A and B are shown apart, each in its own frame.
Chain A
């Protein structure tokens, strides 16, 4: 509020200006409006002083930050060590959830309506095109960041004891990410979606012994149809996110239980 360091202290005018601005800052800061907002018990806290105790409270008293420990290894904070890849994957997942919920308001997973809904979204909905673009690009980006995160972890040898099992969970998360992306690929119900999914599911149909059953279970019919659309929609917006959130929770929890990020190289 107070722009106390606004002037550059250049001679008498500078000093006067500084005094003036300090006075102004004080009168604004101590006004009833300000004090009513920035007082203890309001949404903002007043008087944060930078002390080890307060630094700890910032983490401990916040449900989101509480994912973190109060203190972390110094080398793990360096961007060059993690490249933030795991955290960014998680952030992209949140971004995808938010944009995905927006898209759900305008989309019906039926053979007759899916494609035209997407087109209406592009043309007739405020920010519809932008949000759809964000959802699609963020999805591709998430596949990439998850993959790069895995590579980073491997090159740092961070999958070794005691983190073996968390690596396994990570591989499952990679698979789930691919499945989420793949199930979402069909939903626009355009030529690109239909044939990409045809190619993909045909491959799964070659699984020995149960190939036919697997393909039928995935498609909900002999060939890709409206049943497939409904099935993949449910997988995409409900089942797979539900499962991946559980695995992510275990993944993050284990990062802490296994002693934080792996040690310096």
Chain B
């Protein structure tokens, strides 16, 4: 259990002093939830001996203070007084205050009733004080959200239909290539890798195979993987990320240009050709 903060203890002590109650450790203890049974016993025992007097004085004291503060409306006080009177016995509170002897009898008869109020006449008890920091705080602010069904699923469904249609129609029109049976002894000219590796094949014309085939693609992959750990800029706004965006665009352009050159501008012997002069040497 968290300790009661200093300022609350202080405030409680001041309040007790105002009420004319004993301040100090025992008072502080009584408010703690750690000793509820002891408190309850004391409450039960104390009013039983001098019930009417205690009830009436506490009533008067409590009312006086709250009225001084001006915090509680008069009609509520009146109601609470009536309720307390009803609890202490059938006799009314004013009558009990006036005639001590009869009040004692009635109060003793209704022995369990006074346990409803504490030694200070309080009808509630402080169980614990929760520090503000120990409460789980909601960090996320409300977001503008929509239901997945229908808003997202409809879009997905339309996209899937469109994609199916594109693939189906394209496949019905364009045949996938199937050249002659593989022959290890007959090298076609040019021999090209699949299109997504043609950038690498293009690099082969410029660098040593180890650099073109392993080092450069390896570096590219490595850079992609470490990108989020190197780019520490938390913003995702394009205007804040000009440098990173230009680097990545250069990266994309680099590969796209290489792939396009390798695909369309390379003819027999992987020599440079213009597709509009010499035709296209490219199979998907």
Question: Using a CB–CB distance below 8 Å, which chain A residues touch chain B?
Answer: 52, 55-56, 58-59, 65, 68-77, 79, 84, 87-88, 91-92, 95, 115, 118-119, 122, 129-130, 132-138, 140-141, 143, 147, 150-151, 154-161, 163-164, 167-168, 171, 175, 178, 181-182, 185, 188-196, 198-200, 202-204, 206-208, 211, 223-224, 262-263, 265
Does A55 lie within 8 Å of B236, measured CB to CB?
A: no
- Interface residue stretch chosen among B86-94, B115-123, B145-153: B145-153
Does A181 lie within 8 Å of B167, measured CB to CB?
A: no
Would you list 13 pairs from A and B whose C-beta atoms are within 8 A, ordered by A residue?
A55-B150, A133-B174, A137-B174, A156-B236, A185-B194, A190-B182, A191-B183, A192-B177, A195-B192, A199-B193, A204-B213, A208-B214, A265-B237
Contact A71 B146, CB 8 Å, known A87-B159, A92-B163, A194-B184: yes
A contact residues around B196 at 8 Å (CB): 143, 147, 178, 181
The prevalent SS among residues of A at the interface is helix
Contact A115 B194, CB 8 Å, known A88-B159, A136-B176, A192-B283: no
Given contacts A133-B175, A195-B191, A203-B213, 16 further A-B contacts (CB under 8 A): A72-B145, A84-B155, A115-B182, A133-B171, A133-B172, A134-B168, A136-B176, A137-B170, A151-B248, A168-B225, A171-B224, A191-B180, A191-B182, A192-B283, A196-B192, A202-B213
B contact residues around A171 at 8 Å (CB): 221, 224-225
A contact residues around B151 at 8 Å (CB): 72, 74, 77
CA–CA, A154 and B228, complex, Å: 9
| Cβ-based interface call for B138 (8 A) | no
5 shortest A-B CB distances, which residue pairs?
A: A157-B236, A203-B213, A133-B171, A164-B228, A194-B182
A contact residues around B155 at 8 Å (CB): 77, 79, 84
- Interface residue stretch chosen among B1-9, B20-28, B32-40, B197-205: B197-205
Does B148 lie within 8 Å of A71, measured CB to CB?
A: yes
CA–CA, A217 and B162, complex, Å: 41
Contact A189 B212, CB 8 Å, known A95-B167, A136-B284, A181-B194: no
CA–CA, A122 and B171, complex, Å: 13
From B159, B167, B184, contact of A134 by CB (8 A) = B167
From A115, A138, A199, contact of B201 by CB (8 A) = A199
Contact A200 B181, CB 8 Å, known A71-B147, A75-B144: no
B contact residues around A79 at 8 Å (CB): 155, 159
How many whole Å from A157's CB to the nearest CB in chain B?
3
| Cβ-based interface call for B99 (8 A) | no
B contact residues around A92 at 8 Å (CB): 163, 167
Does B236 lie within 8 Å of A191, measured CB to CB?
A: no
| Cβ-based interface call for B209 (8 A) | yes
Residue of A nearest to B248 (CB): A154
CA–CA, A158 and B164, complex, Å: 28
| Cβ-based interface call for B235 (8 A) | yes
How many whole Å from A236's CB to the nearest CB in chain B?
13
Does B187 lie within 8 Å of A159, measured CB to CB?
A: no
The winner among A84, A155, A157 for most chain B CB atoms within 10 A is: A157
A contact residues around B243 at 8 Å (CB): none
CA–CA, A136 and B171, complex, Å: 9
Does A68 lie within 8 Å of B221, measured CB to CB?
A: no
Does B147 lie within 8 Å of A199, measured CB to CB?
A: no
The winner among A77, A115, A178, A185 for most chain B CB atoms within 10 A is: A77
Residue of A nearest to B228 (CB): A164
B contact residues around A189 at 8 Å (CB): 181-182
How many whole Å from B20's CB to the nearest CB in chain A?
57
B31-59 toward A: CB 8 Å interface, digit per residue (1/0)? 00000000000000000000000000000
Does B178 lie within 8 Å of A122, measured CB to CB?
A: yes
From B145, B204, B234, contact of A73 by CB (8 A) = B145
| Cβ-based interface call for B135 (8 A) | no
CA–CA, A95 and B214, complex, Å: 32
CA–CA, A132 and B174, complex, Å: 11
From B147, B156, B174, B186, contact of A191 by CB (8 A) = B186
A contact residues around B228 at 8 Å (CB): 159-161, 163-164, 167-168
A contact residues around B175 at 8 Å (CB): 129, 133
| Cβ-based interface call for B229 (8 A) | yes
A contact residues around B183 at 8 Å (CB): 191, 194
How many whole Å from B37's CB to the nearest CB in chain A?
47
| Cβ-based interface call for B238 (8 A) | yes
CA–CA, A132 and B178, complex, Å: 11
| Cβ-based interface call for B179 (8 A) | yes
How many whole Å from B2's CB to the nearest CB in chain A?
31
Does B179 lie within 8 Å of A191, measured CB to CB?
A: yes
